[in-house]
A and B are shown apart, each in its own frame.
Chain A
């Protein structure tokens, strides 16, 4: 999955931290970025924040017992490898951290989506929410990338990803997914408020 995600999202320097650089060549885009990027980023964060709780509920509901009744135990936001975010940082720093978070979430959502299609193939609403969130993550990542490139000339940022769950059992898959979405719900709220 990781190579696949790398191919999808990190064509340049995938798997390694994206260094902050001022080399414009690495920030080449297909066409000029829109000038209203920050507003779009805020809207995207708000959109994600607005849908995060519904996604979380949909997820643990779809997983069935015991998840709905043991949220704190099974879905608590206690992921240790989740990228940090400092809301009081500069815009550039926040954008870099946001970039990492979004990259991490994007890869994790890919894993969850894959697993849920297998584990809960009839949870269409969940699938739809997962896809929508993943799409929104893609858009947010693009906008952050544009913003970093255009304004801060950052062409590369090192990112990290969650462990692959393909080898884990079903419950672990569900549990890891639930923990991720719980963390995501919490983090995205913070991030949205930070911008």
Chain B
């Protein structure tokens, strides 16, 4: 036993258990009906009947029954307790195609126990089969087919029934999965009517189709004729004879035929009229065929009266009609080669091979004849399609004929014009356009009679030369299509030349596309010039190889990094465009698309950045600014120059110039000989706090204009004078008790003691005590002080008319006008001021103290200014200076009598107090 397989043991156990405990398999009840099949959507009631024994065992009754469909409890509302043992459930409008219905009981402990189960199947009864039809394929058994109607969702049997009037045939039952047709078991028997119908049956019903009664011979589909053969006739080049073997059904029925044919290269079939083949036959002669043309034939047949079905097409058979003489003269044209001598020209005669339908056979050779006026003709026999001959410059007439085995074609005549020859009368309104996938050419014929037209065309390409093809059209034609291998998206240059009896006319050309397409490459745009708000874009015309059509327009797309794209359309004739209203200092991305009638193609993207400033804008800003700056600076300088005294007054306080100090005037015992009183008076009112007292030698006899003309010299001397003044002033003013500078002149090497001047009041401060102290300084005196003889020399030189240093002159003037302000002095000195300082003059007059004391000087200067201004001459001034020079000379004479000792002095209020 251990060797027994496990499955054997299991099967044995199940068998023994089932046999010994049969009651275990005995269900507790049953469901009625046991195998319900209902119509879909109908009501259904099932009853579950419990067995008494089971009820006792489980202590249950019909109220304990629970109905379930597909393991889902049915609502109690659908239950009906019939009696103690039976419970029914009702389903309204059963919407399941298949549902498991189980009857269960609730035993002790609410445990559900299955009692019985059935499968409720729903579906539809069969509909009446429609469109029953039968066919008898020759040599096979009859097959009928029909439309079974709607899906029943139930197993439905379709049975094809058939009978004669006198007997019934066996039923034809459909095969599973194919309920729409059936092939009967018996061979068809012709000429006996048979009645056929279909019965469809399932659990819910039975339906029968309409009965059809027919003679099977009227449902025959014959086998196709076989062994179709084609033969030609040497007598007639336009016929072919067909022969075939009829199908065996021919012994039973009469047949009619359908014959079709086509040329070998064609796809469409032509058909022999059906009325020509309505009778049974086994051969037929096809007429009106082209010579030397291969034709393909096929044939089919059916019952003569048209009842039944056409057979399948027979196998194709082909045959070639016999040859005939060429039906047309070849197309004939010529080219004159460029190389020519004075008396001869090389002419290439070219012609086209005749198409098969015109050649009507194999062309053996061509006969070419050249005839010149009143000269014997030259004959050539050529196997090729061209002939090159040397001709004189006379007019020739060439003829061409093609020859095959049967005969010779008509001659094609071509006039070759003399040289030179003026062509004229071209065609007009030449147009080329695609139509029906062909490139058509249309023109208006010239008024002159045209023998024929020659159409030449070639593909325009940048990469390959124009290799022309050509064709010939009759003189009556004014519209044709190019009979060559015309490609799409290629630009064709088409030339039409009318040929007159005297020679060719003037050619006309036109360009065309068979079918345009979008360019295969977009234009490359670049910037020609970029401005602040505009950019000039330029591009090259697309090569014709990539155009694929006529460029109708360009579109320029440009945008910033963040902005929207802007599109500008540009006419195709342009090669540059100016983008305006751009934003400065911005990166732009621009690309360009070229459009044909069929679409466009973008070119590569190009970026450029607009500059921040337009061209010249920087210069326009910088130059005026610089000029303004320069002007301002210049004005400032001039202003400062004009107001240098005021500036000087504020920057460099007036410091008494020791050089102008006069020892003789220091003494308190010495009566004032000059207008020092006025000075004192002026200072006493405290209006002048800083006064530079400058002594100017006025003994210069040189007139003022000379001085003014030498402004540089003046400035130089002025700086020199200022330097002196500054040095002196700085030492005496900035430090009140600072010793004065003494000159180290070797000629005046004697030590001079300076007195210490203690300022009694500075800047409106009245001195309390005037202190004079003896200076212990050994610093040499200033030049003028050290060498008073120089002054004398100056005076003398002034008398002699020699020029004197400006410094001395300045001192002289200052000295002559001690009471005037520096402005006033400068007013007299400067040209610039002399012409524009009347305000100063007014101000000068308005100063009370000054006006009193300086009236003579001031009035003289104003007068001099007025005179100078009026007369524009300095003559009167020079006279004034002379008067002052005399005064100074007096002073100098007085100084000479005074011992050369220098004492400190002050120009402050209180005057000079001798120490």
Binding site for B on A (CB under 8 A): 29-34, 40-41, 43-44, 47, 50-51, 131-132, 135-136, 138-143, 145-146
Contact = CB atoms under 8 A, between A and B. Distances in A.
Nearest to B192: A139
B641 interface: no
A50 B191 CA distance: 14
Given A31-B213, A47-B252, A139 B190 contact: yes
Contacts, number: 67
Contact of B190 (A34, A43, A141, A145): A43
Interface string B847-864: 000000000000000000
Contacts of A132: 187
Contact of B215 (A31, A34, A47): A34
A32 B211 CA distance: 12
A47 B251 contact: yes
Contacts of A138: 189
Contact of B164 (A30, A44, A131): A30
B189 A139 contact: yes
Contact of B251 (A31, A50, A143): A50
A131 B165 CA distance: 21
B166 A29 contact: yes
Given A51-B251, A146-B165, A34 B213 contact: yes
Contacts of A29: 165-166
Given A34-B193, A136-B189, 10 more contacts: A34-B165, A40-B192, A41-B191, A43-B217, A131-B187, A138-B189, A139-B191, A140-B191, A145-B165, A145-B166
Given A40-B192, A47-B252, A142 B164 contact: yes
Contacts of A142: 164-167, 192
A30 B192 contact: no
Interface in B184-225: 186-187, 189-193, 195, 211, 213, 215, 217
Interface in B386-429: none
Given A40-B215, A47-B251, A50-B251, A135 B167 contact: no
9 contacts: A30-B168, A40-B191, A44-B190, A44-B192, A51-B251, A135-B186, A139-B190, A142-B165, A145-B165
A50 B251 CA distance: 7
A146 B215 contact: no
Contacts of B187: 131-132, 135
Interface string B247-260: 00001100000000
A48 to B, nearest CB: 10
In order of increasing CB-CB distance, the 3 nearest A-B pairs are A139-B192, A34-B193, A139-B189
Contacts of B165: 29-34, 142, 145-146
A47 B192 CA distance: 12
B881 to A, nearest CB: 167
Given A47-B191, A139-B190, A30 B213 contact: no
B304 interface: no
Interface residues of B, number: 20
Contact of B189 (A30, A33, A135): A135
A136 B216 CA distance: 12
Nearest to A9: B167
B163 interface: yes
A149 to B, nearest CB: 9
Contacts of A131: 187
A136 B189 CA distance: 6
Nearest to B166: A142
B251 A43 contact: no
A44 B188 CA distance: 13
Contacts of B251: 47, 50-51
B166 A146 contact: yes
A139 B163 CA distance: 11
Contacts of A31: 163, 165, 195, 211, 213
Nearest to A33: B165
Given A30-B167, A50-B251, A146-B165, A40 B193 contact: yes
Nearest to B252: A47
Nearest to B251: A50
A34 B216 CA distance: 13
Contacts of B163: 30-31
A32 B189 CA distance: 18
A43 B303 CA distance: 14
Contacts of A139: 164, 189-192
Contact of A143 (B168, B191, B217): B191
Contacts of A44: 190-192
B83 to A, nearest CB: 53
B7 to A, nearest CB: 49
Contacts of A33: 165, 193
Contact of A30 (B166, B191, B217, B252): B166
Contacts of B192: 40, 44, 139-140, 142-143
A132 B252 CA distance: 12
- Among B165, B166, B189, find the residue whose CB has the most chain A CB atoms closer than 10 A: B166
Contacts of B195: 30-31
Contacts of B213: 31, 34
A29 B168 CA distance: 10
Nearest to B215: A40
Contacts of A140: 191-192
Contacts of B164: 30, 139, 142
A148 B191 CA distance: 17
A140 B193 CA distance: 11
Contacts of A51: 251
A5 to B, nearest CB: 14
A140 B165 CA distance: 12
A136 B186 CA distance: 12
A141 B167 CA distance: 11
A47 B164 CA distance: 19
Contacts of B211: 31
B209 to A, nearest CB: 15
Contacts of B166: 29-30, 141-142, 145-146
A23 B168 CA distance: 22
A34 B252 CA distance: 19
A57 to B, nearest CB: 14
A83 B482 CA distance: 82
Contacts of A30: 163-168, 195
A143 to B, nearest CB: 6
Nearest to A50: B251
A30 B213 CA distance: 12
Interface in B125-176: 163-168
Contacts of A50: 251-252
Nearest to B187: A135
A40 B195 CA distance: 15
B793 to A, nearest CB: 172
A145 B187 CA distance: 21
